[in-house]
Amino acid sequence: MTTVLGIADLTVTYRRAAASALIGISLEVEAGEILAIIGESGSGKSTLARAIADLLPERTEVAGLLRWPGLEGGPRAGRDIGYVFQDPGSSLNPVLSIGEQVGEGARRHLGLSRRAADAEVLRLLTRVRLPEPERIARAFPHQLSGGQRQRVAIAAAIAAQPHLLIADEVTSSLDVVVQAAIVELLVELVRAENMTLIFVTHDLALASGIADRVAVMAEGRLVELGPVADVIAAPKAAETAALIAAHIDLTTPPLVGEAP
């Protein structure tokens, strides 16, 4: 497989923090795969996602290497990496219409005219399975449900046709039914559009259901990495074993690799 991103000894320290948020992270992300980054709150998984997307706060100390084969000069912000945040209510601009926000990436990065971008907005809203795309395009974020806002955020993230899509805890504030629909949509999109997906979550069940590989984070370190079924069937790290032991949900199927 082709490597999209290579990370070598990445360490991140926030300003005035007592300890580093990431410590010596090394891994490779392959083209077309779904890599789940999982861990408890504070494990560093979202910091890793934001470091990859160059979205860390100013004055954050970053050491190590991020290598982007095939992207000379590295990824272009908003063009080569699409990022979907946990809370679409904070990532969407409340005073701009949905159509303006989804169309911005297409206009800026694909050079589309206003008319072409408007047509692309309707296509994207339809693509993420939103009903009445013309109405949604005219609406503002506060007029939509949480699940609809998250679909809009996904549409905006893929508007510039990125190579890599990062979904950072995108289902944590949604109910179970909407969670399942959003995850199904993400998987369908990355497979159909030949994108790579980094799926950040604390939910091991979600990760096991969609990922090709799983990276387990704990206290800023990468403690385990491998094919999802192998990691769940035979965890090597105590932190991974604890996550599996904590998965007690009688309403969902067993984890991938787990005995029924």
User: How does pLDDT run across 50-70, given as a tens digit for each residue?
Assistant: 999 999 999 999 999 999 987
Backbone angles phi, psi at 21, to 5 degrees: -80, -30
Secondary structure (DSSP) of 11-73: EEE-TT-SS-SEEEEEEEEETT-EEEEE-STTSSHHHHHHHHTT-PPTT-EEEEEEE-TT-TT
Selection from 158, 135, 159 nearest residue 148 by Cα: 135
120-124: long-range pairs with CB below 8 Å, 24+: 120/159, 121/155, 121/159, 124/155, 124/158, 124/159
Going 137 to 139 to 145 to 150, the CA torsion angle's sign is positive
Where does the pLDDT of residue 18 fall: very low under 50, low under 70, confident under 90, or very high at 90 and above? confident
- Identify the pLDDT of residue 248: 52
- Identify the pLDDT of residue 259: 40
- Identify the pLDDT of residue 118: 94
Q: Pull the structure tokens for residue 245.
A: 């032991």
- Identify the pLDDT of residue 78: 78
User: How does pLDDT run across 61-97, given as a tens digit for each residue?
Assistant: 999 999 998 787 788 777 899 999 988 878 899 999 9
User: How does pLDDT run across 165-217, given as a tens digit for each residue?
Assistant: 999 999 887 888 888 899 999 999 999 989 999 999 988 888 888 999 999 99
pLDDT exceeds cutoff 80 at 252:
no
> How many angstroms separate the most distant Cα atoms in the chain?
55
Residue 17: burial class (beta carbons within 10 Å; 0-12, 13-18, 19+): exposed
User: How does pLDDT run across 116-172, given as a tens digit for each residue?
Assistant: 999 999 999 999 999 999 999 999 999 999 999 999 999 999 999 999 999 999 988
